[in-house]
Structure formats: C-alpha cells, structure tokens
Chain A
Amino acid sequence: MTATYDAGDATFGRVREILCNLLMLVEAEVQPGTLLVQDLNLDSLGFVELEFSLEETFGIKFPDVKLSPEVFALPLAESLAAIEAMPGGTTLFEFMKGEVIAVVATRPPGELALASDAAPDALLRAATVADLATAVGGRVPPGLDGSALLTSLHVAELFRFVSAGVMARYVDRLVAARAGGGPS
C-alpha cells in the first residue's frame, strides 16, 4: 500500500506552506486529500509555477520536458508507456501509475482475473478510476465514474487526481532520487 501523509508531516507541511503562499489560502484549506485542480482551482499554468516553487524549495527537478503535447495526444496507457521510455527521471504521472499499481496489486487474487499476471501494465489495465483516487489519497473528481477503467481516461485527466498529499510524496521521491537514495 502506498504511503500516506498526515498534516504534521514535514514535507507535506512545506508543500502546504507553498500552496498557501501561492494561492492565498489558510492552512486548514490544504489537507493531504485536497485536490489541486478541483479544490484549489489550479490549472496547467498553476502547475508550472507550483513546480517551480517546489523545485526551488527542495532542490529538485521535475522532468516535465517528457510531457510534450505529442505524448498528451496518446491514449493513457500508450502515453504512459511513451513517457516511461524516455530518459530524464520519473514524472508525476509515472509516479501516480506506480501508486495505483501498488493498490491494485494488493487485491485478493480472487478479485482479479489477472491474478496470474502481475505485470505492471496488466495491473494498470485492471485499475479503476476509484483505484487511482484511493492510491493518491484524494477522491474521484466530479464527473468521473469511479468504476470505469482508468485506461478509459485521457492522460491529461490525471492532473485532476493530484492531491496535496500525493504531490508531497512525489516531492519526497524526487528528493530521494537526487540524493541517490531511490529510483529517479
């Protein structure tokens, strides 16, 4: 199961402070499950500046150059595969894929037709929209069907699942990678 953050976590606290400063919020408005798009009205330009602030604060680098419009035009599974094939580190989307796969992999074998096939891509194809929401500690964004397969979404819709908590966990991942203590 994936890691979670409580409001007292150091990384989450710094991420929350940045969000509060950039968006003129009070701390109570930013909880680990707060969705950045739905709850904080963050859009693609907002993500650009948020990531800049996180990079400056934590000394990390978001490998967003991998997320070109060409990649965004592909179906979700193909898009993620294309991103993974590129060098340059783990994007937020790849990180979220890892999180949801970890959730799906914990299901009792009887629940999965793919019990005999635990390959990451097979697990991704078995994941639902609700699985991703669970994995990132948020909730299913409005207008989406939690029971739908995750691969039915467009890759850009993954932004809607990004919570303050998962952003903090992703930052931890990038910090660990920079320090050589984990996968990049």
Chain B
Amino acid sequence: MDLRGKTFLVTGGSRGIGRAVTLRLARAGADVVVAYRQNTAAARAVCDAAAAAGAGRVEALVADVGKHADVAALCTRLRDGGRRLDGIVHSAAMGRFQPLLDVRPIDWDLAFRVNAHALLLLVREALGLLREGGAAVVALSSLGSERYVPFYGAIGASKAALESIVRSLAVELAPRGHRVNAVSAGFVDGETLRSFPQFEVLRDAAIQRTPANRLGTEDEVAAVVTFLCDEASRWINGQTLVVDGGLSLL
C-alpha cells in the first residue's frame, strides 16, 4: 500500500488500536496527524515511532475530540498550516466498564460524547479540509454495538450510535466523493481488554468462542482500517466491517 503524499488525522492515535493505525499509515508513507487528549508522552512516542517507520510527516495535536471547541481549534490549526486531509480515523474512545443498570448520566454522556458524537463533530468541522473527490473516514467500533458484552452497556450503545452515524454520513457525503465506514473489532489483545473487570475470565471465554482460538491483535484491526483508508476499498461505503476472527459467527 502506498499512501505517500496523503494525510490522515487519527484520533486517539497515540494508544491502542489508534496507535497501530498510526504506525500502519506511517509504514505506507502517509503524513499523519495524531490527535490526543492528555498523554503527551505517548503522543510523542508514537510520533517518533511513526517517523522511524517511514511516515512522510507526523505531528501530534492535543484535542478532546468530544468537545466542539477543541475540534474546531484542531481544524483551524490544520487549515492555518495549509493541510488537507485524505482521511480521518476516529479511534478515540472513552467509557466506564460497568453493568448497564449501574450507568449514570455522567457515564452515558461521556461514552456518547467521545465515542459517537465526536465523529460528527470531526466530520462537520473538517469538511472543508477533506480532499475533494475522495477522502475516507473510518470509525472504530466494536462487537458490543450489536452483541452483549459484559460491563459494556453504555459503551456498546455508543458504538451502535457510532455505526448509525457512519451510515448517515456515508450517504450524505457520497455526492462529494467521500466514503465513511466503520471497523467493528472483536476481542483484541491490548490495554483496553486488560482494563475490563474480570479480564481473565472474559479473555478466556473470548478465545474459547473464537474459531481462530485466539484474540485478535491491534495491528490486525489496523490493517483493515488502513485498507478502508486506501483507494483499493473505494466501492465500500457506509459499511461496518467485522474483524473478529469469526467470533460473531457462533
């Protein structure tokens, strides 16, 4: 895959799957703008790794993408820097792992603001920055959007909303030549899964139920995200691609 000369904004791009996406894009030679909320050291580290991996140009900009003011400031900075975007990957996510009946408005609002509404904020504010005739927007979802996952009540609902937003944006942006898709990841070995309550129980059950008999990796998910960023996927629009080693088949 050759993405040289193209620029992608990756939210949550300093950690987890977002970090893996940043590095995949970097290896393809793309310019990458990493949006991060607070972890400056992680952002700095991924920029160094991306530069070493071959990124054309990589920079990290601080933004809470669930805040309109932050997203507007981020886009203004890109615009002032003369940047155009060939794609946006929305990987940033937040939420508390808890049973749905324990979810308070504070938990619900956080999950929906950062996981779902942020995509709409990003696309709306960055619309003028998207390269004419063919930008790709990819959002990171998860199996919890359509299946029961323990302690995932509010986050799962926010991911379902995210996938719905993806479909609407896909239709509304298609006349401009842009595509909007989602990747729904199954259980992926990484920091997020390890932060689940009863992590070992959940991990073992996921492995047992997955035909591939293992967890996925962040890079395996990132590979699909990167594919959706590439011209090769140009006829895929408004879809949620499930990347779970076959777990959801059973």
Contacts and interface: CB of A to CB of B under 8 A. Distances in A.
Interface stretch (A60-68, A95-103, A143-151, A160-168): A60-68
Contacts, number: 52
Contact of A52 (B41, B66, B107): B66
B67 A45 contact: no
A64 B38 contact: yes
Contact of B38 (A21, A45, A52, A67): A67
Contacts of A61: 69
Interface residues of B, number: 21
Q: Which of B66, B106, B110 has the most CB of A within 10 A?
A: B106
A118 interface: no
Contacts of A65: 37-38, 40, 62
A23 B105 contact: yes
Contacts of A64: 38
Nearest to B42: A69
A114 interface: no
B40 A23 contact: no
A42 to B, nearest CB: 8
Contacts of B109: 22, 49, 52-53
Interface string A11-28: 000000000011110000
A46 B106 CA distance: 6
Interface of B: 37-42, 62, 64, 66-67, 69, 94-96, 104-107, 109-110, 113
Given A21-B105, A69-B42, A70-B40, 20 more contacts: A22-B104, A23-B104, A24-B105, A42-B106, A43-B96, A45-B94, A46-B106, A49-B109, A49-B113, A52-B64, A52-B66, A52-B67, A52-B109, A52-B113, A55-B67, A61-B69, A65-B37, A65-B40, A65-B62, A67-B38
28 contacts: A22-B104, A22-B106, A22-B109, A23-B104, A23-B105, A23-B106, A42-B106, A43-B96, A45-B94, A45-B95, A45-B96, A45-B107, A45-B110, A46-B107, A48-B94, A49-B106, A49-B107, A52-B64, A52-B66, A53-B109, A65-B37, A65-B62, A68-B38, A68-B39, A68-B40, A68-B41, A70-B40, A70-B41
